[in-house]
Structure 1
């Protein structure tokens, strides 16, 4: 079992990683917006800034929706896999215990059979 301090550290690392990934996503959106606007040379500086801003907002919204879908699916898969793991573990323990009981029974029968001679 993990300690509370380890779990808190993991949460902090996850938050930092999430922050860094989101900042990288924002940078990618800015880069893509600039590249998009570079193909529109007739824009004024003000129009270019407005298009870049709207492009970045749209990209961030799309990225956020995508990440939320991934997070939801990941949670569903985790729940599903944990259920499968528990079922497999139960089967393994049942098989082990059944084998142990069978071995004890065979050993007992063999010991009784040898003692009766």
Structure 2
């Protein structure tokens, strides 16, 4: 593999990690703020609420990311099929045009030879 490809892949992986980590920290901060406002909770209960909320947010984010990935994959497949159809049509049109031009050229050449 090319070193530039590896570097780009590494940067993409790092960006993904930083995105997930920022999302996790944000969810943890929101959960901590929520648990602090609820009166009468023990520290263990607050920790449980924080853990549950962060895990729930991670699952929601993961499902959303999977949905977006599936959608992009479907769109990409659709465009690939459509491009293949257009390419085949262009090849066929080029073939027909070349045959017509060849036929006309042959007719002109044979017509001038007689």
Q: TM-score, normalised by structure 2?
A: 0.77
2:102 equivalent to 1:76: no
Q: Which residue of 2 aligns with 1:52?
A: 50
**Structure 1 residues 115 and 64: alpha-carbon distance in aligned structure 2, compared to 1, 3 A threshold:** same
Q: Tell me, which stretches of 5 or more residues in structure 2 are unaligned?
A: none
Q: Which residue of 2 aligns with 1:66?
A: 64
Match of 1:90 among 79, 88, 94: 88
Match of 2:103 among 83, 105, 116: 105
| SS of 2:20 mapped into structure 1 | helix
Q: Distance in 1 between matches of 2:37 and 2:105?
A: 83
User: RMSD between aligned alpha carbons?
Assistant: 2.3
Q: Which residue of 2 aligns with 1:33?
A: 31
Q: Tell me, which stretches of 5 or more residues in structure 1 are unaligned?
A: none
2:14 equivalent to 1:16: yes
Aligned length: 113
Q: Distance in 2 between matches of 1:97 and 1:9?
A: 44
Q: TM-score, normalised by structure 1?
A: 0.75
| SS of 2:38 mapped into structure 1 | coil
Q: 1:113, CA displacement in angstroms?
A: 2.0
Q: Distance in 2 between matches of 1:9 and 1:110?
A: 60
Q: 1:56, CA displacement in angstroms?
A: 0.5
